[in-house]
Structure 1
Amino acid sequence: MPDVAIDRAHVGRTVGTQTLFVSRSRLRLFAKATGQSDPVYTDLDAARAAGHPDLPVPPTFFTAVRLESPDPFAWLTGLGVDLNTVLHGEQELIYHRMAHAGDTLTATERITDLYDKRGGALEFLVSTTRITDQNRTLITEAVSTTVIRELSGAAS
C-alpha cells in the first residue's frame, strides 16, 4: 500500500480561509515582480483612463491570496503529506468579475477531488478556491491540482 493514500472522506472539506486587503502599493509591487509593463496596473490615472475605479488586480495575483497564511501548506501536512513529495500539477483560474485596489478579498479553499494513477504511486489532490470581495461577490475560482508521489520513489 503506498504511503501517500489520503482518505477520500476529505473531499468536500474546507482546508483554509485567508483574507487580504488589496492595497495600491501591494499591486504595484506585484506588477514589478511579475514584469508587468502596462501602466494600468501601476498608475492610477492610467487605470481610471481605462475605465477602472482604481488599480485593477492582475489575473495571476489571485494565486497570492491563497498563499497569504503564515504556513500556506499546513493543510497538506495535516493530511499526512510529506511536502518533499509534492508537485504542482495544474492551475486554472475562472474569472467572474474584476477586483481593484481597495477591495478585501477572501479565499476559501476546499478539497474537491482525490484520485490516483499508477496503482496509487501518484495521487492527485484537486482543490477549488473561491475568492470573494468584501460584499461576498464571487470574483474568481482557482482550481489547483497537486500531485503527490509515494516516498519509495516508484513514481519517479
Structure 2
Amino acid sequence: MPVSTDAIGTELPPLTMTIDPGRIRFFAKAIGESLPEGTDVADIPVPPTFLFALELEQPDPFEWLTELGVNLSQILHGTQRFVYHSTAKAGDTLVARPRIADVYTKKNGALEFIVKQTSVTRSDGTPVADLISTLVLRHPEAAQ
C-alpha cells in the first residue's frame, strides 16, 4: 500500500540523549576505530555515524513506519547523509527531531521513497547535525 503524500511534514517524536563516553568507546570498537587509552572523556568526539545509530536505540525505532502502513519486509535502506554543524562530544545532551521530508515514487509506483530528516541540536538549541535518510519500499505488484 503506498504511503500518502499527506505524511510529508509529519514530525515524529523527539529523542533526547546524553552521550555516554562508554557508548562512544563501544561504537568506535564496533566500527574498527581505536581510541587512545587514557583519553580525557571530555575530548572524545562522537564518531560520524554514531548519531544515526542512536535513533535505532528507541524501544521501537520503526514504529513510525508501521503507523504509515509500511510493510517492513518490503523496505530497503537507500541512502544516508550527514551535514555537520559542530562536533558532539561525550557528556553532551542532544535532542533529535525527526520529520518526514518527502514521499515519492518511481518506476510506475514499483518503488516508493520516504525521506526522513532529523535535526540534532544540543539541549540549548545549538545545531550539531542534520541526518537525511532515504528508505525504499518495493511494491512488486505495481506495473513496471
1:117 deviates by 0.4
Q: Which amino acid aligns with 1:13?
A: T
Q: TM-score w.r.t. structure 1 length?
A: 0.85
The structure 1 residue matched to 2:63, chosen from 74, 79, 97, is 74
Choose 104-113 or 84-93, whichever is displaced more. Answer: 104-113
The 2-side partners of 1:151 and 1:65 are apart by 32
User: Which amino acid in 2 is paired with 1:36?
Assistant: E
Alpha-carbon spacing, 1:43–1:123, altered in 2? closer, same or farther (3 Å): farther
Following the alignment from structure 1 to structure 2, what is the Cα–Cα distance between the partners of residues 38 and 26? 12
2:24 aligned residue (24, 27, 41): 27
Aligned residue type for 1:144: S
Tell me: CA distance 1:55–1:94, structure 2 relative to 1, closer, same or farther (3 Å).
Answer: same
For residue 24 of structure 1, what is the amino acid of its counterpart? P
How far residue 64 of structure 1 moved from its aligned partner, in angstroms, is 1.5
Q: CA deviation at 1:43?
A: 4.2
Aligned length: 144
| Letter aligned with residue 10 of structure 1 | A
Change beyond 3 A, Cα 1:108–1:43? farther
Structure 2: distance between partners of 1:141 and 1:152: 34
User: Is the 1:16–1:75 Cα contact (8 Å) retained in structure 2?
Assistant: no
| Matched position secondary structure for 1:99 | coil
List, as ranges, runs of 4+ consecutive aligned residues in structure 1 with deviation greater than 4 Å.
none
Q: Which amino acid aligns with 2:9?
A: G
Letter in structure 2 aligned against 1:16: P
Assess, with a 3 A threshold, how the Cα gap between structure 1 residues 28 and 7 changes in structure 2: closer, same or farther.
same
> Cα RMSD (Å) of the superposition?
1.8
**Structure 1, unaligned stretches of length 5 or more?**
48-52
Task: Calculate percent identity across the aligned residue pairs.
Answer: 45
| AA of the residue aligned to 1:64 | A
Counterpart residue identity of residue 91, structure 1 = Q
Partner of 2:34, secondary structure, is coil
Hey, what does 1:16 align to over in structure 2? Answer: 13
Question: TM-score, normalised on structure 2?
Answer: 0.92
Question: What residue ranges of structure 2 are gaps of 5+ in the alignment?
Answer: none
Match of 2:45 among 41, 56, 61: 56
Residues in 1 aligned to 2:6 and 2:119: alpha-carbon distance in whole angstroms: 21
Residue equivalent to 2:130: 141
Give distance in 2, aligned partners of 1:82 and 1:107. Answer: 25
